[in-house]
Amino acid sequence: MTRIERSISDDFPRHFQRQALQLVNRLVPLTSSGFYLVGDDISNRWVVLENLDESLESLYLEQFQQHDPLSPDRFVNSEVCVACIDEQLTEAELLESVYYREFMRPLGHRHVADMFFRHTGEIIAILTMIRASELGHFTQRELALLRDTQPFLEYTLNTVYLPRRYRQRDTVQQLYALSDRELDVLEIIMGGASNKEIARDLSLALATVKTHVQNLFRKVGVPSRTALSARIQADLNA
């Protein structure tokens, strides 16, 4: 991603997501990776990608998540912290699946492992790790290393980044009587995102995003996105 991305908090979520991706890419060889914060409906939001096209996110959510053996809704009542697609399906089952034939194979993806992060038992984030066939399967040693790493990342996510974000969202919401969705839009605006990027990240229609942006201008009392970001940052620094 080329834009500078910040949430209401300078540190969350993109900075942590990038650091986590850098860490796992140093631990195990990967073709591509992504870090997704998960919405209440188990849809992916707040995406940071490494060597993946951003358009794949909407394609995945609209057409293929229901076919994904590693979809988070399959692990809601589980304590699994790292799941590998090769452990969920036999090779024959995977190669014959709609998910592999129509989504993975055209992208050159062959082996996938997902790291799940939870808060009070609920999945709040997923770090997905992808390999092309030439990199081979995730070995048991590599999976063990990833499972050993997961508690550190989960603890950091829960104790450092999430509490600050929630405090700042509460502060801004109380100051300007914003809805939860307006707060979501504001967080992405603070990172310099366009309306199209906001629509993609939140799975909203472009017209809906424009309405939220105009509501933010009106409630905060500013004429532009630049002025909006400056006002909110000043409020949080006060």
CB atoms within 10 A of CB 24: 22
**72/17 Cα distance (integer angstroms):** 18
Q: What is the mean pLDDT of the chain?
A: 88
CATH classification of the domain holding 150: 3.30.450.40
Quote the number of domains for the chain.
Answer: 2
Mean pLDDT by 10 residues, the chain (238 residues): 39 76 96 84 68 84 92 92 97 97 97 95 93 97 97 91 79 92 88 83 89 97 94 86
pLDDT tens digits, 33-45: 999 887 655 555 6
Q: Note the pLDDT of residue 59.
A: 87
| Domain of residue 29, residue span | 14-166
Residue type, 56: L
Q: Note the pLDDT of residue 99.
A: 97
pLDDT tens digits, 143-176: 999 999 999 999 998 887 777 777 888 889 999 9
Secondary structure (3-state) at 209: helix
What is the token pair recorded at 128? 């997905």
Peptide bond preceding 13 in cis form (omega within 30 of 0) = yes
* Residue 197 backbone phi and psi in degrees, to 5: -70, -40
- Residues 79 and 46 occupy one common structural domain: yes
**207/196 Cα distance (integer angstroms):** 10
CATH classification of the domain holding 229: 1.10.10.10
Asked whether residue 1 is assigned to any structural domain, the reply reads no
